[in-house]
Structure 1
Amino acid sequence: MDDSRKFSVVLPVYNEQDNLTLLFEELKKAADSTGQEWEAVFVDDASTDDSLSVIRGLAQSHPEVRFVAFAENRGQSAAFCAGFDAARFPVVITMDSDLQNDPADIPAMLNLFGQECEMVIGWRAKRKDTLVKRLSSRIANAVRDWFTDDGVRDTGCSLKVMRADYLAELPRFRNMHRFLPILMKMQGARIREIEVNHRQRHRGESKYGTWDRAVAGLYDLIGVQWLIRRHLDYTVKEKK
């Protein structure tokens, strides 16, 4: 088994009690099919339902499952960062816990990963969201690309494969998960996209409002553009 291909799947959770068992069943089937050692790192963002109890049960029954539980709600970016810190393997996969991302896409993404790239991003070509959400996402992607020039069609898709050592060097801030492609590019990562399946939400409700996300996104874009313009980029020719 190639140690460099071992992977950690980081899954932020907030009030997803009805999705977690099925999610793990699908994830285990897909991950086991790769033949690589893997783990699932659930990060409970202070859920107010029984999500943490379900995660504890999964951890007791399956050695692949580990988890982090927040004392207070801190948002998706904080949950992803806690998962990155907890991940033990050199490849990190991120995905949502609402079953809209399809774990069955993971093997193909891992096959593409490493082929002249350090990041593979899922592209939801056929989204199963409402018309309002699809249109707002299209506008948001266009505005984001104008600000950051990251060249990515669908940065909002949480299904991503990345090198853990690159993630360790990223600046951390609220809502950073929306800008992972440009942040990885700033570290020298090469990015490839692959079409992935997108499904309707299985149970529960979306945690984000369209207007709230738009306002926060514009504010974040200004900050990320500042980071891009101030980013230090240099190559060492020689040292002793």
Structure 2
Amino acid sequence: MKEPINPAGYVSIIVPVRNEEENLVPLLAEIEAAAAGLDKPWEVIFVDDGSTDNSLDVIRGLARGKPHVRYLSFACNCGQSAAFKAGFDVARGDVLVTMDADLQNDPADISAMLALYEAGDDMVIGWRACRRDSLAKRWGSLMANRVRNSFTRESVRDTGCSLKVMRASMARRMPMFTGMHRFLPTLMKLQGAKVAEVPVNHRPRRYGVSKYGNWERLRAGLLDLVAVRWMQSRWFTYDIKESK
């Protein structure tokens, strides 16, 4: 049997949290159930992004007595990109998994995504083939994805899906900026990463409300598109032939 190209030794699951107090207990239970079948060490890192509800108290309770549950808490709201970056920096794993805290991503998909990673991909991104959101949100996401792909010369089906698996060493080398989370596949490809997409389960939100609307996404994304396109044109890599 052919050995996996990218054996995952330790998996870090990074979850940004912004006012999701009702979702956190069932989310951790689902993560623990999914991780039990991975047959490898793992951790989950909750990054509280300045929540104004009881999310931080819930996270503290979840982490009590559980060494596989870690958390960070920002002093104020910094955004999802900052939360991912903070998680990348403290993660112990050589493989990172990112996901939302709203229970719309399904932790049960992680195992199949890790299998693709271990077969040779540097990044595996979820594609919400059957979105369980409002028509307005689905339309806004579709339009944003088309504009983003056209401007960055990409063909990614669903950059907005937070459920992703990626090589930690490459993720930590990505240039970080506000809005970075919308361009993770493109930023990984700048380093030569092999990126795969896989359909994943998507569920309706049970508790809480979405933190962003279509206009907020559009306004925030326009300048980011220019920045990423500039990076694509100026990015360079090199291989060391010899050194002493």
Question: Normalising by the residue count of structure 1, what TM-score does the alignment of the two structures yield?
Answer: 0.96
Alpha-carbon shift at residue 150 of structure 1 (Å)? 2.8
Q: Is contact 1:125–1:196 with CA below 8 Å preserved after alignment?
A: yes
1:188 partnered with 2:153? no
Q: CA RMSD in A?
A: 1.3
CA distance in 2: counterparts of 1:80 and 1:92, whole angstroms? 10
Q: Which residue of 1 aligns with 2:26?
A: 22
Q: Is contact 1:52–1:69 with CA below 8 Å preserved after alignment?
A: yes
CA distance in 2: counterparts of 1:125 and 1:5, whole angstroms? 30
* Number of residue pairs the alignment of both structures matches: 239
Q: Is contact 2:16–2:48 with CA below 8 Å preserved after alignment?
A: yes
Alpha-carbon shift at residue 237 of structure 1 (Å)? 3.4
Deviates further, 198-207 or 148-157: 148-157
Q: Is contact 2:124–2:196 with CA below 8 Å preserved after alignment?
A: yes
Instruction: Note the alpha carbon deviations across 1:182-215, whole angstroms, 9 max, x for none.
Output: 0000011100111100000120000001111111
* Identical aligned residues as a percent: 56
Which of 118, 125, 130 aligns to 2:122? It is 118
Structure 1 residue runs without a partner (length 5+): none
* SS of equivalent residue, structure 1 residue 5: coil
Q: Which residue of 2 aligns with 1:158?
A: 162
CA distance in 1: counterparts of 2:7 and 2:72, whole angstroms? 24
Which of 227, 234, 237 aligns to 1:230? It is 234
What are the within-5 Å matches in structure 2 for residues 5-154 of structure 1? 5-154=9-158
Q: Is contact 1:96–1:158 with CA below 8 Å preserved after alignment?
A: yes
CA distance in 2: counterparts of 1:214 and 1:114, whole angstroms? 35
Which of 159, 172, 180 aligns to 1:168? It is 172
Instruction: Note the alpha carbon deviations across 1:141-177, whole angstroms, 9 max, x for none.
Output: 1111111123211111000000110011111100100
Q: Which runs of 4+ in 1 moved over 6 A?
A: none
Alpha carbons of 1:116 and 1:4: their partners in 2 closer, same or farther (altered >3 Å)?
A: closer
Q: Is contact 2:8–2:118 with CA below 8 Å preserved after alignment?
A: no
CA distance in 2: counterparts of 1:200 and 1:5, whole angstroms? 33
Alpha-carbon shift at residue 3 of structure 1 (Å)? 7.8
CA distance in 2: counterparts of 1:3 and 1:236, whole angstroms? 25
* SS of equivalent residue, structure 1 residue 184: helix
Alpha-carbon shift at residue 116 of structure 1 (Å)? 2.3
CA distance in 2: counterparts of 1:8 and 1:127, whole angstroms? 26
Instruction: Note the alpha carbon deviations across 1:3-36, whole angstroms, 9 max, x for none.
Output: 8431000000000000000000000000111111
Question: Normalising by the residue count of structure 2, what TM-score does the alignment of the two structures yield?
Answer: 0.95
